């Protein structure tokens, strides 16, 4: 199939618990797995604004899953389907399903958080990209999670100008399943900063100049053994919509 100017192959596999998970890919060459952010999808985060096309043109096989409870992937309704770090397990399952042993890995926001925790748990990509992420987004996730639970609770009652308003409008656009997403939020835990020492591969931290939604990107870089910081224009939301995110990733991987 084709979305915009990008030729895409869409496939489905079953995670270890049987939940169907969808991924899209484009391009040939070295595999690059990219994970999208909360309430988003692979199509919106990576394809719609040209990042997948930029990276495919730079010689990468770009693999973009829809996370559990997002996009076209399964949205199970039981809390038991969302054990701790379920997205880390799903990522590992896809890496094994595709038989990847030499690849790069990256994500934006929730996707970045999932990538970091997957590496801490033992996944070993050659290079890592953490987009829209700061130290607090890993070490103090419980605070961020509380806000998103408020967003879900205020879905039908929020007024324009409320702190939750913009997130709710995005949820409505993306047709987010509030039950599934609520269970998913409960599967996330804080990451002790000392554990970041396990992320030893070269890492790009790329963040909007006005983005501190997940804390300080500079503090995250300082906590990582081999990290480079790249600021791009925009806020947490708008930094995805320009060409700079995909180009920053392509430049990093070309080194």
Q: How far apart are CA 73 and CA 20, in angstroms?
A: 6
Please check whether residue 58 is in contact with residue 32, taking contact to mean a CB–CB distance below 8 angstroms.
no
Whole-prediction pTM: 0.96
Which pLDDT band, with edges at 50, 70 and 90, does 232 fall under? very high
The pLDDT value given to residue 9 = 86
Q: What mean pLDDT value characterizes the chain? A: 96
Across 123-128, average pLDDT: 98
CATH homologous superfamily for 2-139+191-253? Answer: Alpha/Beta hydrolase fold, catalytic domain (3.40.50.1820)
Q: What is the pLDDT of residues 85-107, one digit of tens each?
A: 999 999 999 999 999 999 999 99
Q: What is the pLDDT of residues 204-214, one digit of tens each?
A: 999 999 999 99
The pLDDT value given to residue 244 = 98
- Domain spans, the chain: 2-139+191-253
């Amino acid at each position: 199939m084709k979305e915009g100017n990008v030729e895409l192959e869409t496939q489905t596999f079953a995670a270890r618990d049987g939940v169907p998970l969808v991924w899209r890919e484009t391009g040939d060459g070295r595999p690059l797995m990219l994970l999208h952010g909360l309430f988003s999808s692979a199509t919106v985060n990576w394809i719609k604004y040209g990042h997948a096309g930029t990276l495919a043109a730079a010689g990468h096989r770009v693999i973009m899953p829809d996370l559990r409870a997002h996009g076209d992937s399964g949205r199970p309704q039981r809390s038991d389907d969302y054990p701790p770090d379920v997205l880390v397990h799903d990522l590992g399952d896809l890496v094994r399903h595709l038989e990847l042993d030499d690849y790069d890995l990256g994500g934006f926001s929730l996707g970045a958080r999932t990538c970091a925790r997957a590496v801490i748990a033992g996944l070993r990509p050659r290079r890592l990209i953490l987009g829209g992420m700061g130290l607090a987004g890993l070490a103090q996730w419980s605070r961020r999670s509380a806000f998103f639970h408020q967003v879900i609770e205020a879905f039908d009652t929020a007024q324009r100008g409320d702190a939750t308003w913009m997130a709710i409008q995005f949820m409505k656009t993306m047709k987010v399943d509030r039950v599934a997403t609520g269970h998913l939020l409960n599967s996330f835990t804080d990451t002790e900063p000392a554990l970041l020492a396990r992320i030893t591969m070269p890492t790009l931290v790329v963040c909007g100049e006005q983005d501190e939604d997940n804390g300080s990107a500079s503090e995250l870089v300082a906590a990582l053994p081999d990290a480079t910081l790249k600021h791009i224009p925009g806020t947490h939301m708008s930094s995805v919509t320009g060409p700079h995110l995909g180009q920053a990733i392509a430049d990093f991987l070309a080194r």
